[in-house]
Amino acid sequence: MHRQFTILLLLATVVVSLSFIKQKPKPRKPGTPVSFVVPKGWPAIKYNLDSNGLTKEGIALGRRLFYEGRLSKDGQFPCASCHQPFAAMANFDHNLSHGFNNQFTSRNAPSLANLAWQTAFHWDGGINHLDVQPLAPITAPNEMAEDISTVLDKLKKDSVYPKMFKAAFGSETINTQRMTRALSQFLLTMVSANSKYDKAMRGEDSFNLPQKLGYTIFKAKCASCHPEPFFTDFQYHNNGLSMDPVLKDVGRMQITGDAKDSLKFKTPSLRNVFVTGPYMHDGRVFSLFDVLDHYHKKMVVGPTTDTLLKNKIPLSNFEKGQLVAFLVALTDTAFNKDKRFSEPPNAPPLNFSSPGHHLN
């Protein structure tokens, strides 16, 4: 009897004590978690997933938004109008892209591969967070030309989006933060690490002779600004392009206000470079051979030109050929054909009027 009483008392004690333990309700993130896989040998990503963990639903929403014409003023300019999957998410064969009301964009649309490792966006690095990035093209009068509240209103009135926001974020609330986080989730999945170069590095494939020779030349003459594995140092350089008299683009100086940054632009990654032409910040160079000619001969050396380029880059025609062979080996065909990045099958119909805007 006493024993039973004691056991009961102990049990009661345990129950009462447990009730004092701080019960912090763990906020359950809605959606099906998707883990981010860092390719073997690559550094940790820079994007903070703690505040925006990937989910199947978030990525699906981001993908739909990426192909959503209504993010633009007249419905014709979704993100995907300038960032096409088959061009490694750059704009195929466009030096400058097309924006609202027959306007040109002011810079060449970059590839969107491996954004998880980037901390600054745009050719001038003016944007400091991936989530903030889409607000620039959406609001730029010569790009998507829309204002953010109108975009959100259009999404709120749609029959599908409120449900997709609920699936991704737990409620039907549609706001700027959720929209841009969903876009980031989709963009973060765009990892390109399966080119012939990657396979050769992993021992799954091997370079042919020109590629092998090109790789050696590349390491000697290009890799200081285009280091592996991203083939960019994420820094800003003046690589000897004269200022375009119409665009008058001073590059990094526009952000820092520092004359030392005049005509400096962020080093682009060379991954998929074969399919992301035309090249340079304003797309003025149309082929890889012309790019190499630029560094070999055509550069304009000015006061802010990178010290490594003061004497241009000595290159023989033979070396140029080998280099191009190597650069082609940076093409990640699996990435460029990845169905996960293509227009979602249930996407709203797009209303493209000019042949320049085919998506597939």
Partner 1 sequence: MCGMKKKLFVVIPVLVVFLCAFAQKKTYKRYYSYNIRLSFTNLVGSEPLQIDSVYQNPFGEPFTVSQLKYYISNVSFSNSDGKEVKVPNTYFLVNEQDSASKNFMVNSLLGTITAVNFYLGVDSLKNVSGVQTNALDPLNGMFWTWSTGYIMAKMEAVSPLSKAPQQRVTYHIGGFKGENNVVKKISLPLSAALKLKPGDTATININADINKWFAGANDIKIADINFCMNPGPLANKIAANYAAMFSVTSSFSQ
Distance CA 141, CA 10 (A): 72
Nearer to partner 1, 72 or 180 (CB): 180
Task: Return the number of the residue (183 or 285) whose C-beta is nearest partner 1.
Answer: 183
Q: How far is the CB of 242 from partner 1 (least distance, A)?
A: 23
Minimum distance of partner 1 from residue 97's CB (angstroms): 16
Q: How far is the CB of 39 from partner 1 (least distance, A)?
A: 24
List, in order, residues 6 or more apart from 38 with CB less than 8 Å away.
44, 45
- Closest CB 19 distance from partner 1, rounded Å: 8
Burial state string for 265-276 with b = 16 or more CB within 10 A and e = fewer than 16: bbbbbbbbbbbb
Instruction: DSSP letter for 279, please.
Output: B
Rounded to 5 degrees, what are φ and ψ at 238? -95, 110
* Cα–Cα distance measured from residue 183 to residue 168, given in angstroms and rounded to the nearest whole number: 12
Residue (17 or 353) nearer to partner 1, CB: 17
Q: Minimal distance in Å, beta carbon 157 to partner 1? A: 16
- Written as six digits, the tokens of 345 are 């099958």
Nearer to partner 1, 116 or 328 (CB): 116
Minimum distance from CB of 321 to partner 1 (Å)?
Answer: 40
Shorter beta-carbon distance to partner 1: residue 127 or 347: 127
311-348 residues labelled b (16+ CB within 10 A) or e (exposed): eebebeeebbbbbbbbbbbbbbeebbebeebbbbeebb
Are 326 and 218 a contacting pair, CB within 8 Å?
yes
Nearest to 276 by CA among 240, 232, 327, 216: 327
By the criterion CB under 8 A, which residues form the site for partner 1? Answer: 2, 6, 9-10, 12-13, 16-17, 20-22, 51-52, 122, 126-132, 135-136, 138-140, 147-149, 152, 175-177, 180-181, 254-255, 257
Using the minimum distance from each CB to partner 1, give the nearer residue, 121 or 218. Answer: 121
